Protein backbone atom coordinates (compact mmCIF):
# COMPACT_ATOMS: atom_id res chain seq x y z
CA UNK A 1 0.00 0.00 0.00
CA UNK A 2 2.78 2.42 0.93
CA UNK A 3 4.61 1.67 -2.32
CA UNK A 4 1.51 2.50 -4.36
CA UNK A 5 0.97 5.73 -2.42
CA UNK A 6 4.60 6.78 -2.92
CA UNK A 7 4.21 6.23 -6.67
CA UNK A 8 1.28 8.64 -6.81
CA UNK A 9 2.99 11.10 -4.47
CA UNK A 10 6.05 11.13 -6.71
CA UNK A 11 4.07 11.52 -9.94
CA UNK A 12 1.19 13.69 -8.74
CA UNK A 13 2.44 16.92 -10.32
CA UNK A 14 3.20 15.18 -13.61
CA UNK A 15 -0.29 13.70 -13.74
CA UNK A 16 -1.86 17.06 -12.89
CA UNK A 17 0.21 18.77 -15.59
CA UNK A 18 -0.71 16.12 -18.17
CA UNK A 19 -4.39 16.45 -17.25
CA UNK A 20 -4.15 20.23 -17.65
CA UNK A 21 -2.64 19.84 -21.13
CA UNK A 22 -5.47 17.48 -22.12
CA UNK A 23 -8.17 19.76 -20.75
CA UNK A 24 -6.78 22.82 -22.57
CA UNK A 25 -6.44 21.03 -25.93
CA UNK A 26 -8.73 22.59 -28.55
CA UNK A 27 -9.72 19.19 -29.97
CA UNK A 28 -10.78 18.00 -26.51
CA UNK A 29 -12.71 21.22 -25.82
CA UNK A 30 -14.60 20.90 -29.12
CA UNK A 31 -15.38 17.25 -28.44
CA UNK A 32 -16.78 17.93 -24.96
CA UNK A 33 -18.94 20.75 -26.30
CA UNK A 34 -20.23 18.42 -29.02
CA UNK A 35 -21.17 15.78 -26.45
CA UNK A 36 -23.40 18.29 -24.66
CA UNK A 37 -25.07 19.32 -27.95
CA UNK A 38 -25.47 15.67 -29.00
CA UNK A 39 -27.31 14.59 -25.84
CA UNK A 40 -30.69 15.98 -26.96
CA UNK A 41 -31.05 14.00 -30.24
CA UNK A 42 -29.78 10.89 -28.44
CA UNK A 43 -32.42 11.29 -25.74
CA UNK A 44 -35.18 11.71 -28.33
CA UNK A 45 -34.14 8.66 -30.33
CA UNK A 46 -33.65 6.62 -27.18
CA UNK A 47 -37.14 7.55 -25.98
CA UNK A 48 -38.73 6.53 -29.32
CA UNK A 49 -36.86 3.19 -29.31
CA UNK A 50 -37.90 2.63 -25.70
CA UNK A 51 -41.56 3.14 -26.62
CA UNK A 52 -41.09 0.77 -29.56
CA UNK A 53 -39.48 -1.86 -27.31
CA UNK A 54 -42.34 -1.55 -24.81
CA UNK A 55 -44.81 -1.79 -27.75
CA UNK A 56 -46.41 1.51 -26.79
CA UNK A 57 -46.04 2.32 -30.49
CA UNK A 58 -46.32 -0.43 -33.17
CA UNK A 59 -43.06 -2.36 -33.19
CA UNK A 60 -43.76 -3.89 -36.63
CA UNK A 61 -44.49 -0.62 -38.40
CA UNK A 62 -42.38 -0.54 -41.55
CA UNK A 63 -42.75 3.24 -41.84
CA UNK A 64 -41.49 3.78 -38.29
CA UNK A 65 -38.59 1.35 -38.79
CA UNK A 66 -37.61 3.07 -42.05
CA UNK A 67 -37.83 6.52 -40.44
CA UNK A 68 -35.70 5.45 -37.48
CA UNK A 69 -33.16 3.83 -39.78
CA UNK A 70 -32.90 7.07 -41.77
CA UNK A 71 -32.38 9.05 -38.56
CA UNK A 72 -29.82 6.58 -37.25
CA UNK A 73 -27.91 6.63 -40.53
CA UNK A 74 -27.65 10.42 -40.28
CA UNK A 75 -27.12 10.66 -36.50
CA UNK A 76 -23.38 10.21 -36.87
CA UNK A 77 -23.41 12.84 -39.63
CA UNK A 78 -25.04 15.26 -37.18
CA UNK A 79 -22.34 14.50 -34.61
CA UNK A 80 -19.62 15.10 -37.20
CA UNK A 81 -21.17 18.42 -38.23
CA UNK A 82 -21.43 19.59 -34.62
CA UNK A 83 -17.83 18.55 -33.96
CA UNK A 84 -16.52 20.59 -36.86
CA UNK A 85 -18.72 23.55 -35.93
CA UNK A 86 -17.50 23.59 -32.32
CA UNK A 87 -13.89 23.19 -33.41
CA UNK A 88 -13.76 25.93 -36.05
CA UNK A 89 -16.26 28.42 -34.57
CA UNK A 90 -13.55 30.36 -32.67
CA UNK A 91 -11.76 31.19 -35.93
CA UNK A 92 -14.40 33.67 -37.13
CA UNK A 93 -12.34 34.91 -40.05
CA UNK A 94 -11.92 31.50 -41.71
CA UNK A 95 -14.82 29.62 -40.06
CA UNK A 96 -17.01 29.13 -43.16
CA UNK A 97 -14.19 27.94 -45.44
CA UNK A 98 -12.65 25.62 -42.83
CA UNK A 99 -15.95 24.09 -41.76
CA UNK A 100 -17.09 23.67 -45.39
CA UNK A 101 -13.85 21.90 -46.31
CA UNK A 102 -14.15 19.58 -43.30
CA UNK A 103 -17.80 18.78 -44.12
CA UNK A 104 -16.87 17.88 -47.70
CA UNK A 105 -14.53 15.25 -46.26
CA UNK A 106 -17.27 14.06 -43.89
CA UNK A 107 -19.91 13.72 -46.63
CA UNK A 108 -17.50 11.89 -48.93
CA UNK A 109 -16.66 9.50 -46.07
CA UNK A 110 -20.25 8.94 -44.91
CA UNK A 111 -20.97 6.13 -47.35
CA UNK A 112 -17.73 4.39 -46.40
CA UNK A 113 -18.14 4.71 -42.63
CA UNK A 114 -21.93 4.77 -42.18
CA UNK A 115 -22.93 4.79 -38.48
CA UNK A 116 -19.23 4.47 -37.55
CA UNK A 117 -18.72 8.08 -38.62
CA UNK A 118 -18.53 9.18 -34.97
CA UNK A 119 -15.11 7.57 -34.69
CA UNK A 120 -14.20 8.55 -38.23
CA UNK A 121 -15.15 12.20 -37.76
CA UNK A 122 -12.50 12.63 -35.07
CA UNK A 123 -9.78 11.28 -37.40
CA UNK A 124 -11.12 13.36 -40.32
CA UNK A 125 -11.07 16.49 -38.14
CA UNK A 126 -7.42 15.89 -37.27
CA UNK A 127 -6.53 15.28 -40.93
CA UNK A 128 -8.49 18.24 -42.35
CA UNK A 129 -7.08 20.60 -39.72
CA UNK A 130 -3.53 19.59 -40.61
CA UNK A 131 -4.29 20.03 -44.31
CA UNK A 132 -5.59 23.55 -43.63
CA UNK A 133 -2.57 24.40 -41.46
CA UNK A 134 -0.20 23.12 -44.18
CA UNK A 135 -2.00 25.22 -46.79
CA UNK A 136 -1.64 28.35 -44.66
CA UNK A 137 2.12 27.79 -44.43
CA UNK A 138 2.33 27.40 -48.22
CA UNK A 139 0.21 30.51 -48.80
CA UNK A 140 2.40 32.52 -46.42
CA UNK A 141 5.52 31.42 -48.29
CA UNK A 142 3.98 32.34 -51.67
CA UNK A 143 2.96 35.77 -50.39
CA UNK A 144 6.52 36.37 -49.19
CA UNK A 145 8.01 35.31 -52.53
CA UNK A 146 5.64 37.57 -54.47
CA UNK A 147 6.27 40.41 -52.01
CA UNK A 148 2.87 41.96 -52.77
CA UNK A 149 -0.71 40.73 -52.13
CA UNK A 150 -1.92 38.75 -55.13
CA UNK A 151 -5.60 37.92 -54.62
CA UNK A 152 -5.96 36.20 -57.98
CA UNK A 153 -2.93 33.98 -57.37
CA UNK A 154 -4.18 33.22 -53.85
CA UNK A 155 -7.63 32.26 -55.10
CA UNK A 156 -6.16 29.99 -57.80
CA UNK A 157 -3.88 28.40 -55.21
CA UNK A 158 -6.79 27.79 -52.83
CA UNK A 159 -8.92 26.26 -55.60
CA UNK A 160 -6.18 23.95 -56.92
CA UNK A 161 -5.03 22.85 -53.48
CA UNK A 162 -8.41 21.99 -51.99
CA UNK A 163 -9.81 20.55 -55.21
CA UNK A 164 -6.83 18.23 -55.48
CA UNK A 165 -7.21 17.08 -51.89
CA UNK A 166 -10.96 16.46 -52.34
CA UNK A 167 -10.46 14.48 -55.56
CA UNK A 168 -7.75 12.39 -53.91
CA UNK A 169 -9.98 11.72 -50.88
CA UNK A 170 -12.91 10.77 -53.13
CA UNK A 171 -10.67 8.34 -55.04
CA UNK A 172 -9.39 6.76 -51.83
CA UNK A 173 -12.93 6.24 -50.46
CA UNK A 174 -13.85 4.28 -53.59
CA UNK A 175 -10.89 1.90 -53.48
CA UNK A 176 -11.86 -1.68 -52.44
CA UNK A 177 -8.65 -2.18 -50.46
CA UNK A 178 -9.25 1.02 -48.51
CA UNK A 179 -12.82 -0.06 -47.74
CA UNK A 180 -11.65 -3.50 -46.58
CA UNK A 181 -8.92 -1.96 -44.42
CA UNK A 182 -11.23 0.61 -42.83
CA UNK A 183 -13.87 -2.04 -42.04
CA UNK A 184 -11.22 -4.33 -40.55
CA UNK A 185 -9.89 -1.58 -38.29
CA UNK A 186 -13.36 -0.47 -37.17
CA UNK A 187 -14.45 -4.02 -36.42
CA UNK A 188 -11.42 -4.57 -34.18
CA UNK A 189 -11.25 -1.08 -32.69
CA UNK A 190 -13.47 -1.46 -29.65
CA UNK A 191 -13.34 -1.07 -25.88
CA UNK A 192 -16.01 -3.65 -25.13
CA UNK A 193 -13.90 -6.29 -23.37
CA UNK A 194 -13.26 -7.28 -19.77
CA UNK A 195 -9.64 -6.18 -19.56
CA UNK A 196 -10.16 -2.89 -21.39
CA UNK A 197 -13.05 -2.05 -19.03
CA UNK A 198 -10.89 -2.70 -15.98
CA UNK A 199 -7.96 -0.70 -17.40
CA UNK A 200 -10.24 2.29 -18.13
CA UNK A 201 -11.57 2.27 -14.56
CA UNK A 202 -8.05 1.92 -13.12
CA UNK A 203 -6.87 4.92 -15.12
CA UNK A 204 -9.93 6.97 -14.20
CA UNK A 205 -9.59 6.26 -10.48
CA UNK A 206 -5.83 6.89 -10.56
CA UNK A 207 -6.46 10.36 -11.96
CA UNK A 208 -9.16 10.98 -9.34
CA UNK A 209 -6.72 9.92 -6.62
CA UNK A 210 -4.29 12.75 -7.40
CA UNK A 211 -7.14 15.27 -7.14
CA UNK A 212 -8.27 15.63 -10.77
CA UNK A 213 -11.70 14.69 -12.16
CA UNK A 214 -10.77 11.38 -13.77
CA UNK A 215 -14.05 11.05 -15.63
CA UNK A 216 -13.59 14.46 -17.24
CA UNK A 217 -10.05 13.65 -18.37
CA UNK A 218 -11.02 10.23 -19.79
CA UNK A 219 -14.16 11.42 -21.63
CA UNK A 220 -12.50 12.37 -24.97
CA UNK A 221 -10.72 9.00 -25.14
CA UNK A 222 -13.57 6.73 -24.02
CA UNK A 223 -16.91 8.26 -25.01
CA UNK A 224 -16.32 8.21 -28.81
CA UNK A 225 -16.23 4.40 -28.58
CA UNK A 226 -19.14 4.32 -26.11
CA UNK A 227 -21.32 6.49 -28.38
CA UNK A 228 -20.32 4.41 -31.39
CA UNK A 229 -21.45 1.28 -29.51
CA UNK A 230 -24.71 2.97 -28.48
CA UNK A 231 -25.64 3.89 -32.05
CA UNK A 232 -24.90 0.35 -33.24
CA UNK A 233 -27.15 -0.94 -30.44
CA UNK A 234 -29.86 1.50 -31.60
CA UNK A 235 -29.61 0.14 -35.15
CA UNK A 236 -29.84 -3.46 -33.90
CA UNK A 237 -32.92 -2.69 -31.76
CA UNK A 238 -34.62 -0.90 -34.63
CA UNK A 239 -34.13 -3.97 -36.83
CA UNK A 240 -35.32 -6.35 -34.11
CA UNK A 241 -31.87 -7.83 -33.52
CA UNK A 242 -30.04 -8.48 -30.24
CA UNK A 243 -27.81 -5.65 -29.05
CA UNK A 244 -24.10 -6.47 -29.14
CA UNK A 245 -22.30 -3.95 -27.00
CA UNK A 246 -22.10 -3.47 -23.23
CA UNK A 247 -19.84 -0.43 -22.99
CA UNK A 248 -22.23 2.40 -23.78
CA UNK A 249 -22.31 5.83 -22.09
CA UNK A 250 -24.78 4.72 -19.44
CA UNK A 251 -22.77 1.59 -18.63
CA UNK A 252 -19.95 3.92 -17.65
CA UNK A 253 -22.23 6.43 -15.92
CA UNK A 254 -24.59 4.16 -13.98
CA UNK A 255 -22.76 0.88 -13.51
CA UNK A 256 -19.00 1.46 -13.53
CA UNK A 257 -19.62 4.78 -11.76
CA UNK A 258 -22.79 3.82 -9.90
CA UNK A 259 -23.45 6.61 -7.36
CA UNK A 260 -20.39 8.41 -8.77
CA UNK A 261 -16.76 7.53 -9.46
CA UNK A 262 -15.41 5.19 -6.81
CA UNK A 263 -18.94 3.91 -6.00
CA UNK A 264 -19.02 6.42 -3.16
CA UNK A 265 -22.49 5.37 -1.97
CA UNK A 266 -20.69 2.49 -0.25
CA UNK A 267 -18.72 5.00 1.82
CA UNK A 268 -21.88 7.01 2.46
CA UNK A 269 -23.50 3.87 3.92
CA UNK A 270 -20.46 3.14 6.09
CA UNK A 271 -20.42 6.77 7.24
CA UNK A 272 -24.04 6.51 8.38
CA UNK A 273 -23.01 3.88 10.93
CA UNK A 274 -19.86 5.63 12.11
CA UNK A 275 -19.53 6.46 15.81
CA UNK A 276 -17.80 9.73 14.83
CA UNK A 277 -20.38 12.49 14.44
CA UNK A 278 -18.45 14.45 11.78
CA UNK A 279 -18.13 11.36 9.58
CA UNK A 280 -21.87 10.68 10.00
CA UNK A 281 -22.66 14.27 9.04
CA UNK A 282 -20.49 14.00 5.93
CA UNK A 283 -22.29 10.81 4.89
CA UNK A 284 -25.70 12.41 5.38
CA UNK A 285 -24.77 15.49 3.38
CA UNK A 286 -23.33 13.41 0.50
CA UNK A 287 -26.27 10.98 0.19
CA UNK A 288 -28.38 13.02 -2.24
CA UNK A 289 -25.33 13.74 -4.42
CA UNK A 290 -24.46 10.04 -4.56
CA UNK A 291 -28.02 9.21 -5.70
CA UNK A 292 -27.42 11.61 -8.60
CA UNK A 293 -24.06 9.91 -9.32
CA UNK A 294 -22.07 12.94 -8.15
CA UNK A 295 -19.01 11.79 -6.22
CA UNK A 296 -17.18 15.04 -5.39
CA UNK A 297 -18.69 15.59 -1.91
CA UNK A 298 -17.23 12.29 -0.68
CA UNK A 299 -14.04 12.32 -2.74
CA UNK A 300 -13.03 15.78 -1.54
CA UNK A 301 -14.87 15.62 1.77
CA UNK A 302 -13.16 12.56 3.30
CA UNK A 303 -10.88 13.25 1.36
CA UNK A 304 -10.13 10.20 -0.77
CA UNK A 305 -7.55 12.07 -2.85
CA UNK A 306 -3.95 11.34 -1.83
CA UNK A 307 -5.23 9.35 1.14
CA UNK A 308 -2.85 6.56 2.19
CA UNK A 309 -5.61 4.50 3.78
CA UNK A 310 -7.93 4.44 0.74
CA UNK A 311 -5.39 4.20 -2.08
CA UNK A 312 -6.00 0.46 -2.70
CA UNK A 313 -9.81 0.21 -2.39
CA UNK A 314 -10.47 3.52 -4.14
CA UNK A 315 -8.41 2.61 -7.22
CA UNK A 316 -8.60 -1.18 -7.41
CA UNK A 317 -12.08 -1.80 -5.96
CA UNK A 318 -14.13 -0.08 -8.73
CA UNK A 319 -12.06 -1.85 -11.40
CA UNK A 320 -12.80 -5.28 -9.87
CA UNK A 321 -16.50 -4.51 -9.44
CA UNK A 322 -16.62 -3.09 -12.98
CA UNK A 323 -15.14 -6.31 -14.32
CA UNK A 324 -17.78 -8.27 -12.39
CA UNK A 325 -20.55 -6.10 -13.87
CA UNK A 326 -19.24 -6.58 -17.41
CA UNK A 327 -19.20 -10.36 -16.92
CA UNK A 328 -22.81 -10.32 -15.66
CA UNK A 329 -23.93 -8.44 -18.79
CA UNK A 330 -21.81 -10.62 -21.05
CA UNK A 331 -23.39 -13.79 -19.61
CA UNK A 332 -26.84 -12.36 -20.33
CA UNK A 333 -27.99 -12.33 -16.71
CA UNK A 334 -29.06 -8.69 -17.13
CA UNK A 335 -30.10 -6.81 -20.28
CA UNK A 336 -27.19 -4.87 -21.74
CA UNK A 337 -27.36 -1.07 -21.28
CA UNK A 338 -29.11 -0.06 -24.50
CA UNK A 339 -30.81 3.28 -23.87
CA UNK A 340 -29.52 6.77 -23.20
CA UNK A 341 -31.19 8.26 -20.11
CA UNK A 342 -28.89 11.21 -19.32
CA UNK A 343 -29.06 12.37 -15.70
CA UNK A 344 -31.82 10.38 -14.03
CA UNK A 345 -31.24 9.62 -10.31
CA UNK A 346 -30.68 6.11 -8.97
CA UNK A 347 -32.32 3.61 -9.26
CA UNK A 348 -34.37 4.97 -12.20
CA UNK A 349 -31.24 5.52 -14.31
CA UNK A 350 -30.25 1.86 -13.96
CA UNK A 351 -33.71 0.54 -14.79
CA UNK A 352 -34.38 2.75 -17.81
CA UNK A 353 -30.87 2.20 -19.22
CA UNK A 354 -31.56 -1.56 -19.37
CA UNK A 355 -35.36 -1.87 -19.05
CA UNK A 356 -34.59 -4.78 -16.74
CA UNK A 357 -35.42 -4.99 -13.01
CA UNK A 358 -32.40 -7.27 -12.60
CA UNK A 359 -30.24 -4.23 -13.37
CA UNK A 360 -31.34 -2.75 -10.04
CA UNK A 361 -30.30 -5.98 -8.29
CA UNK A 362 -26.91 -5.79 -10.03
CA UNK A 363 -26.58 -2.20 -8.79
CA UNK A 364 -27.38 -3.21 -5.20
CA UNK A 365 -24.90 -6.11 -5.37
CA UNK A 366 -22.21 -3.81 -6.81
CA UNK A 367 -22.67 -1.32 -3.97
CA UNK A 368 -22.63 -4.20 -1.48
CA UNK A 369 -19.37 -5.55 -2.89
CA UNK A 370 -17.75 -2.13 -2.75
CA UNK A 371 -18.99 -1.69 0.83
CA UNK A 372 -17.19 -4.94 1.76
CA UNK A 373 -14.04 -3.77 -0.04
CA UNK A 374 -14.09 -0.38 1.67
CA UNK A 375 -15.03 -1.69 5.12
CA UNK A 376 -11.62 -2.63 6.65
CA UNK A 377 -10.02 0.52 5.26
CA UNK A 378 -12.92 2.66 6.48
CA UNK A 379 -12.55 1.23 10.00
CA UNK A 380 -8.87 2.16 9.93
CA UNK A 381 -9.78 5.66 8.73
CA UNK A 382 -12.45 5.96 11.42
CA UNK A 383 -10.03 4.82 14.14
CA UNK A 384 -7.40 7.39 13.10
CA UNK A 385 -9.91 10.21 12.56
CA UNK A 386 -9.61 13.08 15.01
CA UNK A 387 -12.80 15.07 15.45
CA UNK A 388 -12.51 18.81 15.76
CA UNK A 389 -13.34 19.75 19.35
CA UNK A 390 -14.52 23.32 19.89
CA UNK A 391 -13.38 24.70 23.22
CA UNK A 392 -15.88 27.40 24.23
CA UNK A 393 -13.84 28.41 27.31
CA UNK A 394 -10.53 29.33 25.71
CA UNK A 395 -11.52 33.00 25.30
CA UNK A 396 -12.95 33.46 28.84
CA UNK A 397 -9.83 35.26 30.09
CA UNK A 398 -10.35 38.03 27.55
CA UNK A 399 -13.50 39.20 29.35
CA UNK A 400 -15.28 39.97 26.05
CA UNK A 401 -18.89 41.16 26.17
CA UNK A 402 -20.80 41.43 22.90
Give per-residue pLDDT as tens, 122-140. 888 888 888 888 877 776 7
pLDDT at residue number 16: 87
Residue 205 confidence (pLDDT): 93
The structure's pTM equals 0.85
CB 307 within 8 A of CB 253: no
Neighbour-count burial of 248, counting CB atoms closer than 10 A to its CB (0-12 exposed, 13-18 middle, 19+ buried): buried
Q: What does the alpha-carbon distance between residue 328 and residue 335 come to, in Å, rounded to a whole number?
A: 9
Q: Quick one: pLDDT at residue 392?
A: 46
Question: Which of 282, 277, 302 lies closest to 389 in space, CA to CA?
Answer: 277
CB burial string 324-345: b at 16+ within 10 A, e below: ebbebbeeeebbbbbbbbeebe
How far apart, in Å, are the Cα atoms of 204 and each of 123, 230, 247, 276, 290? 24, 21, 15, 30, 18
pLDDT at 60 (0 to 100): 62
Mean pLDDT, 10 residues at a time, the chain of 402 residues: 81 86 87 87 86 74 70 83 89 82 85 80 87 76 59 66 79 81 78 92 93 89 90 86 91 90 91 88 89 89 90 93 95 92 86 92 95 93 71 50 48
Residues 6+ apart with CB under 8 A from 392: none
Specify the pLDDT at position 255: 93
State residue 151's pLDDT score.
Answer: 60
Backbone φ and ψ of 386, nearest 5° = -110, 115
C-alpha span between 399 and 319 (Å, rounded) = 58
* Cα–Cα distance, 359 to 161 (Å, whole number): 55
pLDDT of residue 139: 67
Amino acid sequence: MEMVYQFFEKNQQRMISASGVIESNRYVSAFKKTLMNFSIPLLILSFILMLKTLKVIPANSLDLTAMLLFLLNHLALLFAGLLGFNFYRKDQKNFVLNWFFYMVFIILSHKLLGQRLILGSIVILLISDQIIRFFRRIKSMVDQWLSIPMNIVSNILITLYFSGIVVLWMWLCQQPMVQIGVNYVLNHLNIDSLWVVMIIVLLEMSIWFVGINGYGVMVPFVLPFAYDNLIQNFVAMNQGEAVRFIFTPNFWDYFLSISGSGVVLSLVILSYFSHKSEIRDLGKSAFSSAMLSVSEPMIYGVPLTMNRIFVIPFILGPALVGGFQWMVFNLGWVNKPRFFVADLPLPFSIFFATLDWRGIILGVVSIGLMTLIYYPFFKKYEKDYQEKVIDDTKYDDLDLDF
